[in-house]
Amino acid sequence: MDFKEKIRVIPDYPQEGVRFKDITTLLQDGPAYKAVIEKMAVFAREKNADIVVGPEARGFVIGCPLAVDLGLGFAPVRKKGKLPYETIQAEYSLEYGSDALAMHKDAIKPGQRVLIADDLLATGGTIKTTMDLVKQLGGEIVGLAFLIELTYLNGREKIGEEYDVFTLIQY
């Protein structure tokens, strides 16, 4: 199956010059969505992870079904102030200013093998921050899985070469 055919590209959104990759068209196609998760699960099984972590919101859309397919738990990474229990935080830079992501302090146990999953690897800022949170909690990152990678934005450079990265679709 050509998954790229299932992605709608919207020109000039959210600003002129950007070609937004809309995954909702893929998500609406049950067999395609299932096939995406199954393909990502092949990579994930090789990593022998203990838990899947994903940043909101589209990381939930990829990470949760992946965790279910693997028979693992899922730990969410959310914007600061969105989790109800005690959290740790890490800040990251945006085009104008900064923001922070958070995880519950008990989301990852020291030594747990963590697979991070998200819909998109672009500049790497959100994923690098997610990785920092996992490391703060003592997790061992065994792999990163993405539906889409925008190779021209060099997100892999921010992540670091020592990590095994899987992407299903590249632009």
Please give the single-letter amino acid code of residue 34. K
**pTM (2 d.p.):** 0.94
Note whether 53 and 68 are within 8 A (CB): no
- Does CATH number 3.40.50.300 belong to domain 3-170? no
Sign for the CA dihedral angle at 109, 114, 120, 123 comes to positive
pLDDT tens column, 146-166: 999 999 999 999 998 899 999
- Low-confidence stretches of the chain (pLDDT < 70) are 94-97
Active-site annotation holds for 95: yes
Name residues whose C-beta falls within 8 Å of residue 64's C-beta, 6 or more positions apart in sequence: 52, 54, 74
Note whether 70 and 45 are within 8 A (CB): yes
Please tell me whether the peptide bond between 41 and the residue prior to it is cis, using omega within 30 degrees of 0: no
Residue of 58, 91, 140, 162 with catalytic role = 58
Note whether 79 and 133 are within 8 A (CB): no
Q: Write down how long the chain is.
A: 171
- Note the pLDDT of residue 92: 85
d(CA 93, CA 88): 17
- Note the pLDDT of residue 96: 63
- Note the pLDDT of residue 154: 94
- Note the pLDDT of residue 93: 80
- Note the pLDDT of residue 98: 80
- Note the pLDDT of residue 76: 98
d(CA 97, CA 7): 30
Helix or strand (DSSP H, E) at 48: none
Per domain, the residue ranges of the chain are 3-170
Residue of 86, 95, 161, 162 with catalytic role = 95
- Note the pLDDT of residue 94: 67
- Note the pLDDT of residue 38: 98
